[in-house]
Each structure stands twice: as structure tokens, then as C-alpha cells.
Amino acid sequence: MKFRLTLWKLVFLVTICLGIYSAYVRYAHGLGAVSNMSDQFPWGIWIGFDVLCGVMLAAGGFIVTGAVHLLNIKWMHSVVRPTILTAFLGYCLVIVGLLFDLGRPWYIWHQLIYMNPHSVMFEVGFCVMFYTTVLFFEFLPNVLERFNLKQSLRWVKGIMAGLVVAGILLSTLHQSSLGALYLIMPGKLHPFWYTPALPFFFFGSAVAVGLAMTIFESSLSSRVFGRQLELPVLVQLGDVLLVALWINALLRFEDFFHRGQLRNIFKPSYEAYFLWLELTLAFVIPITLLSFKRIRRSPDGLYLASVACLLGFVTNRLNVSVTGFETWVGHHYVPKWTEFMITLAIVSSGFALFGLAVKYLPIFPEVQHSPAAQPLELIANNAVPVAVLVENAGD
């Protein structure tokens, strides 16, 4: 196919080029040169976004496989493959992000031999490592089907039940443990976000975001790849998401109430503004939208609710990892542009790899591709920025 340079392809290429330059600065001049991290702010957005949010956004994998294989919920079947793909890519990119963030990434394997069972970080690292392996095997059928390797396919499907159980177990552990990382900083983290319930909140938000991400990526890929939107499936996912959001919201309220923070959260302060932003995006907007039957059953309403929800919980994790420490430290942390570029490049390659996988693997097997017909319509429809990029990623 002829290569056509579209706006979003250009954005993608520029992002990747700047990302490569930033990667060069990282490995040629060190963390100090590439980032605004310091002794006061040892963890920046590479931990706050790439790791904390990356793992959260990839949570759909264990929720959807669990619902389909464990609870035997049949209607979710059509979203299993794209969700596993998202999760697998997500975890791989989290590991890529870690290779930038770790001061001595070439010793990352020390995790396997110098184990400290008291460390939450050790537990997270171990679970992420094993879960990525599990996701690899859950993803494998796509490749095996593509090349018609029936024997191996049977073998992988034979161990699928074990994989799913292991996947949920490992996910429960590390999704919650990401929150437990912050339990050791009671004096440093702002009381809006420091709570003994952090592990529960991190797990709860992962469940909500896993569902929201599944709606988001199904909506997006239906627009991009011109698939029939499985609206009934998304509507049902929206119902579950509404319940998950209510549970999350009520638990947050309970927590503020029991720790006597209810009075403080309404007083204007630097932290309060960020908390309001987080709560509005994560709870107020999506719960309101999903509460109306008409919005809940419309593709646009579901899309909007899921995007607000994703942004809200991303804000939550950035608040826990960055905003919540600024008062204790006494100054602000704003990432350097090279820090942003590495994160953006990682996110962009995630979208591109998703597009490639969909193009060459039976992720949406029921759909026949008609690549020639789609791009025209998509260029006209600028509402979906990554659309054209993803569609043409394989060119």
C-alpha cells in the first residue's frame, strides 16, 4: 500500500523521534539530565503514570477473562481478545517504562535472586513479571490461529483455566500492592490520599478502570476499524461500570468520613483542587451520565463516560504519587519535556502496536477488513485522534 502522510501519522512520527532523542539523553547523560526528578522527588511521572496508571489501565485483562472463563458470563466473549491484547501490551510497556526509570535497569534481574519478602516492591515486581508471562500465553492463541498451529493451540487452550486463575490471583495481589507501596509514608503523603485502605482503593479503581477501558477500546476500535459496534455488550459493561463506580465512590466517602477528612475536602486548598478534579472526573461525571437510561444506551454516552472515568482515575494515581507529596517536600514537581516525551512515545507505541496486532492477528475474527474504505471516512471524522494513526500503523 502507498504511504500517505496524515496529520496523526506525522504526530506519531514526531513523538517517536523526540522519544528516541529523550531515550538517548536518558542513557547517555543519566536520570538527572533527562528528568526533573530530584532527591526531594525521587519518583516522577514514570512511576506515577507509566507504572501506576499503566498497570491500572491494563486491568481489563484479568476482569474480562475472569468474567468469561471463571464466572462463565457468555455475553462478554466478544471483548476477551482485544482486552487481553490491551493488557499484554500494557504490561510490556510498563516494563519498558521501568527500564527508563530504574537507575540500574541492567540489574533488573536481581529481583529474581536477591529476594526481600518484606518488600511490597518485591511483591509487585514478582507479580508483574509472572502476570506478563501469563498474559503472553493468554495472547498466544491469536498467533497460533493466525499460523494455523492446531496442536499448540489445543495445548494452550488446555491450560487456559489455570492461566486465568493464576492471572486473577497475581492481579489481585499486585493491583492492590501498588497502593500498599504508599502505606509506609504516613507522614509524607497528604491525608486526602494517605489511608490504610489504599490497597483496597487501588484494587477497586483497577476494576472500574478495567471495565471503562474495555468500553473505551471497543468504542474506539469500532470507529477505527469500521467494525459493527457491539452495543448490547457495551451497554451491559456500562451497567457493571456504574455499579463499580458507586462502590468505589461509597468506599471513598466512608474513608473520608472515618478519618475525619470530610470537613477538609470542601475547604479550598491546592490539594483540594486536585481532589475535586479527580472526584468529578472519576465519579460525578460518569455516574451522572450512566444514570440516564438514554445516555447509558448510546454509544457516545458510553464513550464519554468511560473517558471521564479513565481520566479521573489517572488523576487519582497522579495525586497519590505526585500531588500528595508536594506540601511535604515544599515545592512543586513539573516533569521535564524529555520526561513527557518518553511517556508519550510509550503510549503512542501502545496504540500503534494495537493497530498492528488487529491488522495481522485474528483479534476481531468476525470482521472482514476493508482497509481501503475506512481511512477516508476517518480523516473526515477528527473526533478520534488516534484513529487514522492506528489504522495506518501497519503501512
Partner 1 sequence: MSKALLYDATICIGCKQCEVACAQQNKLPYSDEIAAESVQSEHKYTVVLTKQEKFMRRLCMHCEHPACASVCPVGAFHKTAEGPVVYDVWKCIGCRYCMVACAFAQPKYEWQSLNPRVRKCIMCPDRVKAGQQTACAEICPTGATKFGERDELIKEAQSRIQQNPSNYVPHIYGLNEVGGTSVLLLSSVPFEAFGYPKSEKLGDTPMPEYTGRVMSKIPDFIPLWSLVLGGVYWITHRREDVAAAEAEERKLKHSKDGAR
Nearer to partner 1, 164 or 302 (CB): 164
String marking each residue 193-232 x if it binds partner 1 according to CB under 8 A: ------x---------------------------------
Per CB under 8 A, the list member of 114, 260, 268, 373 interacting with partner 1 is 114
Please select the residue that binds partner 1; options are 24, 40, 152, 250, rule is CB under 8 A: 40
User: Phi, psi (5° rounding) for residue 264?
Assistant: -75, -30
Cβ atoms within 10 Å, residue 356: 14
Shortest Å, Cβ 325 to partner 1: 8
- Minimum CB distance to partner 1, residue 104 (Å): 4
Query: Is residue 94 close enough to count as binding partner 1 by CB under 8 A?
Result: no
63 binds partner 1 (CB under 8 A): no
87, 61 in Cβ contact below 8 A?
Answer: yes
Note whether 187 and 347 are within 8 A (CB).
Answer: no
Q: Does 172 bind partner 1 (CB under 8 A)?
A: yes
Q: Is residue 185 a contact point for partner 1 (CB under 8 A)?
A: yes
Binding partner 1 (rule: CB under 8 A), the pick from 158, 187, 260, 268 is 187
Q: How far is CA 76 from CA 125, 236, 312, 352, in A?
A: 30, 9, 25, 25
Among 6, 78, 111, 327, binds partner 1 (CB under 8 A): 111
From CA 84, how far away is CA 214, in angstroms rounded? 10
CA 214/CA 90 separation, integer angstroms: 13
- State yes or no: residue 177 binds partner 1 (CB under 8 A): yes
State phi, psi for 118 to the nearest 5 degrees: -80, -15
Do 259 and 192 meet the contact criterion of CB atoms below 8 Å apart? no
Rg of the chain taking only CA atoms, in angstroms: 21
For residues 207 and 63, the answer to whether their CB atoms sit within 8 Å is: yes
Cell readout for 253 is 466517602
Side chain identity at 362, as an amino acid letter? Answer: P
Check if the beta carbon of residue 180 is closer than 8 Å to that of residue 199: yes
Q: Is residue 293 within the footprint of partner 1 (CB under 8 A)? A: no
Piece in contact with partner 1 (CB under 8 A), picked from 103-111, 244-252, 341-349, 373-381:
103-111
* Site membership for partner 1, residue 168 (CB under 8 A): yes
Mapped onto helix, strand or coil, the DSSP state of residue 37 is: coil
* 119 contacts partner 1 (rule: CB under 8 A): yes
Q: Which stretch binds partner 1 (CB under 8 A): 120-128, 145-153, 217-225, 355-363?
A: 120-128
Q: Is 125 in the site for partner 1 (CB under 8 A)?
A: yes
Residue type, 261: Q
Of residues 9, 12, 22, 37, which one binds partner 1 by CB under 8 A?
Answer: 37
**Would you count residue 260 as binding partner 1 (CB under 8 A)?**
no
The total of other beta-carbon atoms located within 10 Å of residue 277's CB is 16
Of the two residues 123 and 391, which places its CB atom closer to partner 1 in the complex? 123
> Is position 368 an interface residue for partner 1 (rule: CB under 8 A)?
no
Residue whose CB is less far from partner 1, 72 or 148 = 72
User: Of 185 and 243, which CB lies nearer to partner 1 in the complex structure?
Assistant: 185
- C-alpha to C-alpha distance for 302 and 213, rounded to whole angstroms: 11
Q: Which of 80, 180, 290, 388 binds partner 1 (CB under 8 A)?
A: 180
Q: Is 188 an interacting residue with respect to partner 1 (CB under 8 A)?
A: yes
Number of amino acids touching partner 1 (CB under 8 A): 55
Cell, residue 335: 516533569
Among 107, 155, 257, 292, binds partner 1 (CB under 8 A): 107
Give the list of residues 6+ apart from residue 177 with CB closer than 8 angstroms, or none. 120, 123, 124, 127, 199, 202
Helices (H), 147-230: 150-158, 160-180, 198-224
Residue 176 CB, nearest distance to partner 1 (Å)?
Answer: 8
Please, which residue, 173 or 281, has the CB nearer to partner 1?
A: 173
59: which DSSP letter?
A: T
Helix (H) or strand (E) holding 102: none
φ, ψ (nearest 5 deg) of residue 67: -65, -45
Instruction: Write down how long the chain is.
Output: 395
Q: Which is nearer to partner 1, 199 or 226 (CB)?
A: 199
Q: Which residues of this protein are in contact with partner 1, per CB under 8 A?
A: 27-33, 37-40, 42-43, 66, 69-72, 101-105, 107-108, 110-111, 114-123, 125, 161, 164-165, 168-169, 172-173, 177, 180-181, 183-188, 199
